[in-house]
Amino acid sequence: MKNSDGQLYTIEGFAAGLIMLMTAYLVVNATSIYTAGDTHISDMQLEALGSDALTIMSTPTDPPMYISNTNPLRMIIESDDEGKFKTMFLNLTNNRTGAPLDYSNADSTMDYIQFNASYSCRNQNTTAIFPLSYSRNLTGGEHTVRATKWVIVNKSASFCGTTNKDRAVLVEVLLWRD
């Protein structure tokens, strides 16, 4: 005679197996999405950090003077001060506790945010792009994000088709982590 005693236990076993399979599926699925999500999150944070640094740099030290010469970023562009931009930007983006970083040492084993900055202006109907400053050359393999900032400058000499006129230029910074 066929024995049908353990039917309930068999059904229970199937149910438990299905639950375990579903759980494993959800967990594996979650880790595979995590990689893509992770890139977006760090990109967003790096972009926000770069924008904040540029905003700090273009804040006039004498607040009431809207477009005055006390705007550090404006002064940097007007004098093409590559070194000052590098020092300010690296300090603002890499500030942390502990010993200060040695930016001058390219072989430094320390991990810090690198950048490559330029600014563009309009010359008649073309865009002219000038290099501003960089912490290291781009090799093409970096995963960079871009932060931009508008600055109104007046480079006394002939600049982008005009002389002694206020011009709006766009500062663009590519930044990445090594």
Partner 1 sequence: MARLNDDAQWIILMGFLVSFSFFFLALVINQSTVVGQTTAESVIEFPKTDIRDVKQAIGQSMKTNDLVTVKDDIKFLSMNRKGSVVDYWNFTNNNTTFIRIHYNNGVTEYNENWSYV
Could you tell me which stretch among 9-17, 88-96, 105-113, 135-143 binds partner 1 (CB under 8 A)?
9-17
Least distance (Å) from partner 1 to the CB of residue 140?
20
Write the CA distances from 171 to 51, 66, 114, integer angstroms. 11, 18, 16
- Binding to partner 1 by residue 56, rule CB under 8 A? no
Among 2, 5, 104, 157, binds partner 1 (CB under 8 A): 5
- Binding to partner 1 by residue 10, rule CB under 8 A? no
Q: How buried is 77 (Cβ within 10 angstroms: 0-12 exposed, 13-18 middle, 19+ buried)?
A: buried
From CA 24, how far away is CA 18, in angstroms rounded?
A: 10
Show contacts with partner 1 in window 61-120 (CB under 8 A): 66-67, 120
Closest CA to 148 of 169, 165, 167, 123: 169
User: What is the size of the binding site for partner 1 (CB under 8 A)?
Assistant: 47
From CA 80, how far away is CA 155, in angstroms rounded?
A: 10
Least distance (Å) from partner 1 to the CB of residue 151?
8
Least distance (Å) from partner 1 to the CB of residue 99?
32
Closest CA to 131 of 98, 86, 168: 86
Among 75, 78, 122, 174, binds partner 1 (CB under 8 A): 122
Instruction: Give whichever of 75 and 170 is closer to partner 1, judged by the CB atom.
Output: 170
Q: How many Cβ atoms from other residues are within 10 Å of residue 171's Cβ?
A: 23
- Name the DSSP letter for residue 97: S
Site residues for partner 1 per CB under 8 A? 5, 8, 12, 15-16, 19-20, 22-23, 26-27, 29-30, 33-34, 36-38, 40-41, 43-44, 47-48, 51, 55, 66-67, 120-122, 125, 127, 148-152, 154, 162, 165-170, 172
